[in-house]
């Protein structure tokens, strides 16, 4: 059997910084509330002319360069996103056209903030099945395009960004790469975090626009209660599928949604600060992009070493949750 090994990683965040103090001038909120309730100090916002596929392209180019792989050597593209450029065609198709003149099959994955985990799980399974040798997994979200800046309960949380990884087939003799994946979803919580209008249930109309139904709506307290259970479940289930224990985990890279949710997971497992990656302070919740952004930062800091067991865990709209367990390193 083969395994999918991460051979290249790249990320992108837009230049424009929106700080808590900027938000104070836009709505009835304050830095103290945002920092104490979420851990966020600032976030990045894409330009008006910068769409999800543009950020995906930047991150992909960096991941390909990091891998030393040309776009033409990619066999399949997954784009995890909740904010596609258009409902159709897919952002994966648009990204392919930017990356290469040769056709490459690809598809979008829409699984809330867990999209990165879902896409890696599916890419890894395709590689293990021998279907493809190299898969580009991209996570890109322009949440600012669906955030209601008149709703302080959600506006302060979200930011824009993208991340990408090149997965490559390797014989599993060295045990590098994706060791296990755990995916789950419970649609009974679908309405707790949703973009109500613009789909077939509630097509766009003057009424939906006037009622601000093209912005995301969230029942924050309910999602919070779900998250503090879903995160530990994701970590435990992923590790169990890899035949590992919490004590085997070198690094936890959690979805960066709220500092308090990350801290609750740390407490549950008695994890040392040094084993948990946090960068929510500077980017807010970038949805699918939050894990690759955190992973790239920790690598730049030199905290990500070959042979380490890295657990990535996320939760989000759906409701979805899941984890990926990786032994870091190219395995060559
Ligand atoms: O990746 C997507 C997943 N989403 C999440 O992970 C979100 C999960 N939920 C959360 O992170 C938290 O529920 C929030 C950060 C969204 C909210 O924190 P909270 O501690 O649950 O606050 P709350 O909603 O219970 O609101 C407490 C108070 C309310 O005022 P009253 O009713 O107590 O007077 C809110 O109106 O804080 C008020 N409030 C704010 N005040 C200042 C809500 N938003 C703000 C704000 N600035 N931005």
What is the CA(153)–ligand 1 centre distance, in A? Answer: 5
- The reply to whether omega before 237 is within 30° of 0 (cis) is no
CB atoms within 10 A of CB 151: 15
Domain locations in the chain? 2-171, 178-327
CATH, domain range 178-327: 3.40.47.10
- Given the DSSP bridges, would you call strands 76-80 and 134-142 parallel, antiparallel or unpaired? parallel
For residue 258 and ligand 1, the question of a CB distance below 6 A is answered with: yes
Q: Do 162 and 294 meet the contact criterion of CB atoms below 8 Å apart?
A: no
Q: Do 315 and 321 meet the contact criterion of CB atoms below 8 Å apart?
A: yes
Question: pTM of the entire structure?
Answer: 0.97
Ligand 1 atom closest to 255 (CA):
1
CATH architecture of 2-171: 3-Layer(aba) Sandwich (3.40)
Q: How far apart are CA 14 and CA 44, in angstroms?
A: 6
Per-residue pLDDT at 252:
97
Per-residue pLDDT at 33:
98
For residue 219 and ligand 1, the question of a CB distance below 6 A is answered with: no
Per-residue pLDDT at 1:
80
pLDDT along the chain (332 residues), means of 10: 94 98 97 98 98 98 98 98 98 98 98 98 97 98 98 98 97 86 98 97 97 98 96 97 96 97 90 93 98 97 95 98 96 72
Testing ligand 1's pocket by substitution, the residue of 114, 154, 220, 313 carrying the most ligand atoms inside 8 A of its CB is 220
Asked if 2-171 and 178-327 have one fold, the answer is yes
- Per-residue buried b or exposed e for 246-283, using 16+ beta carbons within 10 Å of the residue's own CB: beebbbbbbbbbbbebbbbbbeebebeeebbbbbbebb
From 247, 259, 264, 330, select the one nearest 294 (Cα to Cα): 259
Helix (H) or strand (E) holding 240: helix 220-241
């Amino acid at each position: 059997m083969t395994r999918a090994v991460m051979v290249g990683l790249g990320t992108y965040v837009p230049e424009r910084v929106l700080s808590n103090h900027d938000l104070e001038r836009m709505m009835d909120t304050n830095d103290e509330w945002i920092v104490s309730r979420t851990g966020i100090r600032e976030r990045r916002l894409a330009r008006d002319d910068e769409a999800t596929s543009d950020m995906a392209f930047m991150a992909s180019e960096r991941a390909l360069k990091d891998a030393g792989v040309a776009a033409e050597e990619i066999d399949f593209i997954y784009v995890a996103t909740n904010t596609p450029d258009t409902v159709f065609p897919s952002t994966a198709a648009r990204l392919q056209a930017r990356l290469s003149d040769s056709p490459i099959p690809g598809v979008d994955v829409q699984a809330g903030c867990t999209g990165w985990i879902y896409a890696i799980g599916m890419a890894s399974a395709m590689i293990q099945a021998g279907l493809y040798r190299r898969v580009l997994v991209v996570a890109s979200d322009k949440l600012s395009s669906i955030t209601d800046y008149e709703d302080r309960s959600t506006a302060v949380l979200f930011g824009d960004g993208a991340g990408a990884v090149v997965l490559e087939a390797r014989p599993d003799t060295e045990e590098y790469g994706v060791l296990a994946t755990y995916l789950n979803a419970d649609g009974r919580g679908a309405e707790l975090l949703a973009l109500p209008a613009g789909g077939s249930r509630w097509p766009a109309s003057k009424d939906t626009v006037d009622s601000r139904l093209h912005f995301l709506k969230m029942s924050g307290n309910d999602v919070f209660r779900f998250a503090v259970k879903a995160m530990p479940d994701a970590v435990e289930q992923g590790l169990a599928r890899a035949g590992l224990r919490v004590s085997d985990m070198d690094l936890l890279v959690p979805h960066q949604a709220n500092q308090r949710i990350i801290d609750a997971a740390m407490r549950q497992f008695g994890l040392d600060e040094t084993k948990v990656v946090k960068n929510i302070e500077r980017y807010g919740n970038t949805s699918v992009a939050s894990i690759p952004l955190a992973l790239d930062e920790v690598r730049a800091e030199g905290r990500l070493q070959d042979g380490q067991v890295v657990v990535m865990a996320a939760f989000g709209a759906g409701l979805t949750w899941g984890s990926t367990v990786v032994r870091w390193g190219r395995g060559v």
